[in-house]
Amino acid sequence: MDHPPPRKLRRRGRSGTGATQQTCTGTTTASGTATCTIDSVDQPQGTSNAVPVAVTFGGDDDYNPSSTSAELGLTSPTKLDYTGVTHLANGTPAQLAAKLTDFRGDAVPGSSVRFALGTGDQEQTCTGTTSDTGTATCTVASVDQPLTDSATVPLRASFAGDAGYLASDTSAQLKLQYATGRAYGVSAHVDLIGVPLLEVDPQPDTGTVRTADATATDTPCSAEYTSLLLSVQKLCPKVATTLAPGKVTATSTVAQARIGLPGVPLIEVSGLTATSSSECGKAMGSTTLTLKIAGVPVTVSGDPNTEIPLVGGGRLIVNEQLPSTGADAGLKVNGIHLVLPADGGEVVLASTDSAMHNCGD
């Protein structure tokens, strides 16, 4: 009995059902295998993480119709976007958040997302589970991160993937709140017709403090500085910072000072204290002192930038307050600032500076 030669038969494949159904058609080879390709799978991610597949042959003059079905495992690419805080402050909580979506941009609920703040020994971690909107949140109870040159902290959020979704991650650089400050007792630069008379570098001087932690300087006080034109006694500068909330306070005290420069009346100061204090949202300054000019007591109101004209054209500024540049909040306070006429120079007593940075919105 003769058998009919092999024929090429068309098979139709179908994945999914209803409105999401995708189809393609293939022709059997000599071995009876038909293949076809769906260029881009687009199926809903059901609870079973599987998609039904049906294959049918419609039959012809020689062969009866037939069909088969199966389920294929379904995985979706995911995307993770960081949506949490952008600014941090040591010693305070930080709420981290990220949104997980599938390849369509739809939320992926019930999935675990790990957050890592910082790196190495300084890494702090927490884990959150995505909500119905795809957002996972968790809180680092007390941020403890080092201050870098860029004042930023790396953040990485990651989803490990599961049977239905592929892994994804994201990263961000979060800004770390920090303080700067400086305090010194005295500085002077005085010329007389181009001839240097007095040159005093800032002393004692804490130098510039830059920190994201609670700190206090330990700069030694100076007993005195004495010259024919300027003498000062018991000078003490200090800068201290605190956390939660972040605050920096710079203080400088001068027990006694006597300024006797050519062409300027004698200036005597006692009990001088200048303070500059800053925290996110505000900066404050003050100066207290007892003042005599040419032997006569002068009552000073305590108002910022009180200016007293001097015989000979000089100016004495008491409680000089200048805003800090490049900071969210900051103030420079000079207890006494003597400005000499004709660009003859200046003398500063009890100088303080404080500022806060990366305060956030």
Whether 1 has a pLDDT exceeding 50, the answer reads: no
CA 354 to CA 206: how far, in whole Å? Answer: 12
Whether 49 has a pLDDT exceeding 70, the answer reads: no
- pTM comes to 0.86
Report pLDDT digits (tens) over 301-329.
Answer: 989 999 999 998 899 999 999 999 999 99
Report pLDDT digits (tens) over 345-359.
Answer: 999 999 999 999 999
pLDDT at 180: 98
CA 275 to CA 281: how far, in whole Å? Answer: 18
Mention every residue, 6+ apart, whose C-beta is less than 8 A from residue 115.
84, 96, 98, 125, 126, 127, 128, 138, 140, 155, 156, 157
- CB–CB of 84/97 below 8 Å? yes
| Locus of tokens 């800068």 | 239
**E-assigned strands of 58-194?**
66-73, 78-82, 87-88, 94-102, 112-117, 124-129, 135-140, 152-159, 168-176, 178-192
pLDDT at 4: 52
CA 171 to CA 218: how far, in whole Å? Answer: 39
